């Protein structure tokens, strides 16, 4: 996907990208590739692949939840890595107030440089594990309108990492590929236990041959998460909340 194709694909969904925003995306790409030479940020470095599989893919969240396009929401990105999906969303929709959580300081340093170079404001970067970020002792717990996660963990694990940070009445948006349906079956009990309830699934695709499906699960936070969740770092992944009611 060339930058021009990226712009046209978003325009077909009613999202107009300005010249200034296109310049930000190009600078994002240049910084990503330059930093990736000494910090492991992504396995995808080809120019057109980054536009397709990072920038465009990240933007799909705003099609699953169109309020991201217009409302001044607080958005928290758990395990953002190189800034996906939150920073492409922030570039496209500058009114969003973004908090990024990542456990590796080198990635946080990259993201700080990136935000400075792109002139992004209202972006907070937090060096922390998701389990402690959303714990009962954390000031961030249940503070965000939206919490996103992309390519982080299975949905049953992701729910325990993300839902504690979502305010009651807010939503979690999980970016998944084709495995999402099977993951949802395993995760439904955990989602409910953690105060969540599936609102809807939006299935989209990357404009490739063959088509690559993308499933975006939008989960409502309908009640407060019990204080004992999330469990201590590492436990959600080692002992996921399967077969809970």
Give residue limits of the domains in the chain. 3-223
pTM of the predicted model as reported, rounded to 2 decimal places: 0.93
pLDDT of residue 177: 84
Of the pLDDT bands very low, low, confident and very high (cuts 50, 70, 90), residue 151 is confident
- Joined together, the tokens standing for residue 10 give 């978003």
Average pLDDT over residues 208-222: 90
Distance, in Å, from the CA atom of 29 to the CA atom of 11, rounded to the nearest integer, reads 20
Count of CB atoms situated within 10 Å of the CB of 13: 13
pLDDT, averaged across the chain: 94
- Joined together, the tokens standing for residue 99 give 């908090």
> Binding-site residues for S-adenosyl-L-methionine, please?
79, 84, 130-131, 150
pLDDT 10s digits, 154-203: 899 999 999 999 999 999 999 988 766 788 889 999 999 999 999 999 99
Percentage, residues of the chain above pLDDT 90 = 86
**Dihedral of the CA atoms 130, 136, 137, 138 (nearest 10)?**
40
Of the pLDDT bands very low, low, confident and very high (cuts 50, 70, 90), residue 30 is very high
> Binding-site residues, please?
79, 84, 130-131, 150
Q: Write down the CATH number for the domain with range 3-223.
A: 3.40.50.150
């Amino acid at each position: 996907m060339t930058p021009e194709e990226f712009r046209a694909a978003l325009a077909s969904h009613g999202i107009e990208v300005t010249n200034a925003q296109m310049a930000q995306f190009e600078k994002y790409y240049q910084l990503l590739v330059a930093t990736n030479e000494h910090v492991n940020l992504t396995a995808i470095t080809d120019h057109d692949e980054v536009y397709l599989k990072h920038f465009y893919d990240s933007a799909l969240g705003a099609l699953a939840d169109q309020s991201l396009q217009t409302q001044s929401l607080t958005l928290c990105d758990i395990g953002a890595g190189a800034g996906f999906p939150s920073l492409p969303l922030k570039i496209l929709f500058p009114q969003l107030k973004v908090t990024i959580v990542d456990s590796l300081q080198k990635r946080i340093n990259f993201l700080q440089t990136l935000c400075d170079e792109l002139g992004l404001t209202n972006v907070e970067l937090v060096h922390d594990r998701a389990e402690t970020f959303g714990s009962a002792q954390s000031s961030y717990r249940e503070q965000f309108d939206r919490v996103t996660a992309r390519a982080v963990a299975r949905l049953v694990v992701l729910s325990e990492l993300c839902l504690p940070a979502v305010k009651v009445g807010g939503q979690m948006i999980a970016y998944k590929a084709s495995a999402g349906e099977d993951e949802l079956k395993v995760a439904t009990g955990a989602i409910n236990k953690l105060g969540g309830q599936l609102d809807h699934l939006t299935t989209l695709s990357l404009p490739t041959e063959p088509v690559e499906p993308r499933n975006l699960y939008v989960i409502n936070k309908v009640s407060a998460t019990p204080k004992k969740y999330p469990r201590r770092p590492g436990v959600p992944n080692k002992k996921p909340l399967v077969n809970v009611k």
